[in-house]
């Protein structure tokens, strides 16, 4: 660990201002973050009275140099950043230099620490109005004890919740911290009783420590990567859901964060597989380049801003969909259109639902009290979330409606199942219809082409220029013209060939991708913007250009020759790719012969 310095006022002034310590939870969070930043492999947290009486955090990390201990409890004293530039790439959990002074200001604080390589440790203790540091024989690492929180701030003390409630919040936080740093062994003790201990041997073991040994079997595990973004996730089967979102933990670069955008994207990806008013279990670890994450948004550091969050959310969406279907395409579901399927939904807390027996339009639903006194809704339709919302709206209190019978198992297919196939033709100038065995694949030509182009380009060392049949004359402002010409060599390496055409016009002769040429102008506008906005050596930049270029793939509405269709289907079949485009839309849907025969009543 670096030595501690007081931040220059310029840097300190840029730090999101506000109270750091709001209660026991924030003390525990800040102290554990310090232990993690100190490279600890074992952290013990002990609280008494829900943390109101005392909080002790012990780690086996780097320790604090004896000459720095007094400084550590001063405002804006930190070993983690030094300059404004450091704030652009924060690799540590802490960086504000405010936790220890804030804790010291509102509690009785004791710090025992021995830095690695030092002969002995030292103890910092309150001594009247000041602090004294005395040498002491100690093991490597640091223990911080904070007692009598808010003893000197009665207004704050008044707002603390009961010991039980504060303790429950600390307990919840401890679980999330153990899930956020699964390579660290956490021991959590409340009022002298061990609550849990994680072994520090990876996420699955941390999940077992926090939630119990039966949980992993109910989870789907996935890993997804696009450019420099990576997501490792454990999410629940659609039949293992909760009524609150409390079993969702999002971690960005080892930091536990809250994010409505991520929660919404997750929900969206489950789609209709999610029962009304229910939430999946999810632990999602995101790895994002440091410069794309701004953690200096709020003193609590759990709210962050992510540059180009849409890209991350699209990857999450594709990965979750993929995990839920095992990378396979579900057979299309026609059951909504059949009238022989009875679905029954049972209201669990029927006493809260006022209306007596009532019947809706007979072709949609019928609500009634069943013989055993339960409130049931029968319908030939399979309800969607929104429909059920309408029922819930009429209830005087929160209403839980559960399906009594689970809809049948859907069959799933993968693109590689098209071993032997016959191209039937192009549908609506947009979809390629392929017969393979007893299955019909309906392929979205744009989504498929985009996915194939993306796969090819993202892994290519250099992007080869594809000559345009007709050069494209791009008229620009003088400024943009000059800028693009200056970057011509660099763009050439990315597969763009351009030359000065006189005046402020540029002639484009090749692009990294063949395809519809109609929107070259728009593509080049975006390329200009990306060139201006990004460091060219940044791999994210390359990924962005590639993604953008992919969009000029074959469009919907373009007629394709049999040979063009065959090439695309062939490539798709052999690609081993996820069946979604780089923006998360499906590449294909599947219709089975059995479903057709059922609908024509050839089979029942």
26, 44, 60, 62: which one contacts ligand ADP (CB under 6 A)? 62
Answer whether 377's CB lies under 8 Å from 401's CB: yes
The token pair at 31 is 């102290």
Stretch that binds ligand ADP, among 56-64, 406-414, 460-468, 499-507 (CB under 6 A): 56-64
For ligand ADP, the binding residues in 235-274 under the rule CB under 6 A are none
Per CB under 5 A, 453 contacts Mg ion:
no
Stretch that binds ligand ADP, among 61-69, 218-226, 390-398, 430-438 (CB under 6 A): 61-69
Per CB under 6 A, 72 contacts ligand ADP:
yes
CB of 298 to ligand ADP, least distance (A): 14
Q: Encode 151-216 in three state secondary structure.
A: CCCHHHHHHCCCHHHHHHHHHHHHHHHHHHCCCCEEEEEECCEEEEECCCCCHHHHHHHHHCCCCH
For 383-416, b/e burial (b = at least 16 CB within 10 A) is beeebbeebbeebeeebbbebeeeeeeeeebbbe
User: For the window 13-52, what string marks contact with Mg ion as x by the rule CB under 5 A?
Assistant: ---------------------x------------------
- Only one residue has tokens 């849907």, namely 589
Judged by beta carbon, residue 26 or residue 453, the one nearer ligand ADP is 26
Answer whether 494's CB lies under 8 Å from 463's CB: yes
Judged by beta carbon, residue 72 or residue 284, the one nearer ligand ADP is 72
Stretch that binds ligand ADP, among 72-80, 124-132, 385-393, 553-561 (CB under 6 A): 72-80
Per CB under 6 A, 20 contacts ligand ADP:
no
Stretch that binds Mg ion, among 91-99, 132-140, 446-454, 506-514 (CB under 5 A): 91-99
Locate all alpha helices (DSSP H) within 13-55, ordered by sequence: 24-37
CB-nearest residue to ligand ADP? 94
As a whole number of angstroms, the distance between CA 534 and CA 546 comes to: 14
Per CB under 6 A, 4 contacts ligand ADP:
yes
Q: Where is 235: in which H helix or E strand?
A: strand 229-236
User: For the window 129-158, what string marks contact with ligand ADP as x by the rule CB under 6 A?
Assistant: -------------x----------------
26, 44, 60, 78: which one contacts ligand ADP (CB under 6 A)? 78
Mapped onto helix, strand or coil, the DSSP state of residue 396 is coil
24, 50, 61, 94: which one contacts Mg ion (CB under 5 A)? 94
As a whole number of angstroms, the distance between CA 378 and CA 346 comes to: 9
Stretch that binds Mg ion, among 89-97, 157-165, 501-509, 569-577 (CB under 5 A): 89-97
Q: Give Cβ neighbours of residue 264 (< 8 Å, ≥ 6 apart).
A: none
Binding residue count for Mg ion, defined by CB under 5 A: 3
Stretch that binds ligand ADP, among 71-79, 300-308, 329-337, 545-553 (CB under 6 A): 71-79
55, 77, 184, 474: which one contacts ligand ADP (CB under 6 A)? 77
Rounded CA Rg of the chain: 30
Judged by beta carbon, residue 38 or residue 565, the one nearer Mg ion is 38
As a whole number of angstroms, the distance between CA 285 and CA 252 comes to: 6
CB of 85 to ligand ADP, least distance (A): 17
Residue 97 interacts, among ligand ADP, Mg ion, none and using kind-specific CB cut-offs from 5 to 8 Å, with ligand ADP
Answer whether 343's CB lies under 8 Å from 378's CB: yes
Q: Which residue from 429, 428, 454 is spatially nearest to 561, judged by alpha carbons? A: 429
CB of 540 to ligand ADP, least distance (A): 27
As a whole number of angstroms, the distance between CA 59 and CA 55 comes to: 13
Judged by beta carbon, residue 40 or residue 306, the one nearer ligand ADP is 40
As a whole number of angstroms, the distance between CA 179 and CA 184 comes to: 9
The token pair at 532 is 């201006």
Binding residue count for ligand ADP, defined by CB under 6 A: 24
CB of 184 to ligand ADP, least distance (A): 12
Judged by beta carbon, residue 65 or residue 446, the one nearer ligand ADP is 65
Judged by beta carbon, residue 93 or residue 589, the one nearer ligand ADP is 93
Mapped onto helix, strand or coil, the DSSP state of residue 401 is strand
- Partnered with residue 432 across adjacent β-strands are 426, 443
Sheet holding 505-511, edge to edge: 466-475, 505-511, 497-500
For ligand ADP, the binding residues in 27-46 under the rule CB under 6 A are 30, 34-35, 38
As a whole number of angstroms, the distance between CA 260 and CA 299 comes to: 18
Residue 72 interacts, among ligand ADP, Mg ion, none and using kind-specific CB cut-offs from 5 to 8 Å, with ligand ADP
CB of 32 to ligand ADP, least distance (A): 9
As a whole number of angstroms, the distance between CA 442 and CA 431 comes to: 6
The token pair at 27 is 């003390």
Residue 325 interacts, among ligand ADP, Mg ion, none and using kind-specific CB cut-offs from 5 to 8 Å, with none
The token pair at 484 is 């693009």
CB of 4 to ligand ADP, least distance (A): 5
β-pairing verdict for 505-511 and 130-136: unpaired
Answer whether 510's CB lies under 8 Å from 466's CB: yes
User: For the window 87-116, what string marks contact with ligand ADP as x by the rule CB under 6 A?
Assistant: -------xxxxxxx----------------
Judged by beta carbon, residue 80 or residue 255, the one nearer ligand ADP is 80
- How is residue 339 annotated by DSSP? S
Per CB under 5 A, 99 contacts Mg ion:
yes
CB-nearest residue to Mg ion? 94
Stretch that binds ligand ADP, among 57-65, 357-365, 474-482, 495-503 (CB under 6 A): 57-65
Mapped onto helix, strand or coil, the DSSP state of residue 24 is helix
Judged by beta carbon, residue 39 or residue 330, the one nearer ligand ADP is 39
Q: Where is 20: in which H helix or E strand?
A: none
CB of 30 to Mg ion, least distance (A): 5
The token pair at 51 is 């943390």
Which positions touch ligand ADP (CB under 6 A)? 1, 4, 30, 34-35, 38, 59, 61-64, 72, 77-80, 94-100, 142
């Amino acid at each position: 660990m670096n030595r501690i310095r007081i931040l220059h006022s310029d840097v300190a002034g840029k730090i999101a201002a506000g109270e750091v310590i709001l209660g026991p939870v924030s003390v525990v969070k800040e102290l554990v973050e310090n232990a993690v930043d100190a490279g600890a492999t074992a952290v013990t947290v002990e609280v008494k009275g829900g943390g109101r009486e005392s909080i002790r955090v012990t780690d086996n990390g780097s320790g604090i140099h004896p000459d720095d201990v007094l400084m550590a409890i001063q405002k804006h004293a930190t070993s983690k950043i030094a300059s404004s530039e450091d704030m652009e790439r924060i690799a540590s959990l802490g960086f504000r230099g405010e936790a220890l002074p804030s804790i010291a200001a509102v509690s009785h604080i004791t710090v025992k620490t021995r830095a690695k390589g030092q002969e002995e440790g030292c103890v910092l203790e309150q001594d009247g109005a000041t602090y004294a540091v005395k040498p002491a024989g100690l093991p490597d690492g640091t223990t911080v004890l904070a007692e009598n929180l808010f003893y000197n701030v009665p207004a704050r003390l008044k707002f603390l919740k009961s010991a039980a409630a504060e303790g429950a919040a600390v307990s919840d936080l401890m679980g999330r911290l153990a899930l956020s740093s699964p390579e660290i062994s956490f021991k959590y003790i409340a009022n002298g009783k061990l609550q849990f201990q994680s072994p520090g041997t990876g996420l699955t073991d941390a999940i077992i420590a926090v939630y119990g040994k039966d949980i992993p079997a109910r989870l789907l595990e996935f890993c997804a990567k696009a450019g420099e973004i990576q997501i490792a996730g454990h999410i629940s089967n659609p039949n293992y859901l909760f009524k609150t979102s409390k079993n969702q933990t999002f971690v960005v670069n080892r930091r536990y964060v809250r994010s409505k955008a991520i929660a919404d994207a997750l929900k969206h990806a489950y789609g209709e597989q999610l029962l009304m008013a229910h939430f999946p279990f999810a632990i999602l670890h995101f790895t994002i380049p440091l410069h794309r994450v701004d953690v200096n948004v709020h003193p609590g550091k759990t709210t962050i801003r992510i540059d180009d969050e849409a890209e991350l959310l699209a990857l999450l969406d594709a990965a979750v969909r993929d995990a839920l279907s095992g990378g396979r395409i579900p057979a299309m579901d026609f059951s909504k259109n059949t009238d022989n399927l009875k679905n029954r939904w049972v209201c669990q807390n029927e006493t809260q639902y006022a209306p007596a027996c009532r019947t809706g339009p007979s072709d949609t639903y019928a609500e009634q009290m069943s013989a055993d006194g339960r409130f049931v809704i029968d319908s030939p339709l399979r309800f969607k979330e929104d429909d059920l919302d309408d029922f819930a709206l009429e209830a005087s209190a929160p209403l839980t409606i559960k399906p009594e019978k689970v809809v049948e198992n859907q069959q799933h297919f993968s693109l590689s199942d098209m071993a032997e196939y016959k191209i039937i033709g192009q549908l609506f100038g947009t979809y390629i219809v392929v017969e393979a065995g007893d299955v019909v694949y309906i392929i979205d030509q744009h989504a498929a082409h985009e996915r194939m182009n993306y796969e090819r380009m993202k892994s290519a060392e250099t992007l080869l220029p594809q000559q345009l049949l007709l050069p494209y004359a791009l008229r620009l402002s003088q400024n943009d013209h000059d800028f693009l010409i200056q970057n011509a060599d660099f763009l050439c390496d990315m597969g763009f060939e351009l030359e000065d055409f006189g005046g402020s016009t540029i002639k484009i002769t090749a692009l990294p991708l063949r395809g519809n040429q109609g929107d070259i102008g728009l593509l080049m506008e975006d390329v200009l913007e990306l060139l201006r906005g990004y460091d060219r050596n940044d791999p994210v930049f390359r990924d962005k250009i590639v993604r953008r270029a992919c969009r000029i793939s074959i469009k919907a509405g373009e007629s394709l020759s049999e040979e063009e269709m065959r090439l695309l289907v062939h490539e798709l079949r052999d690609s081993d790719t996820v069946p979604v485009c780089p923006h998360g839309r499906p590449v294909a849907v599947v219709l089975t012969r059995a479903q057709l025969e059922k609908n024509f009543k050839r089979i029942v």
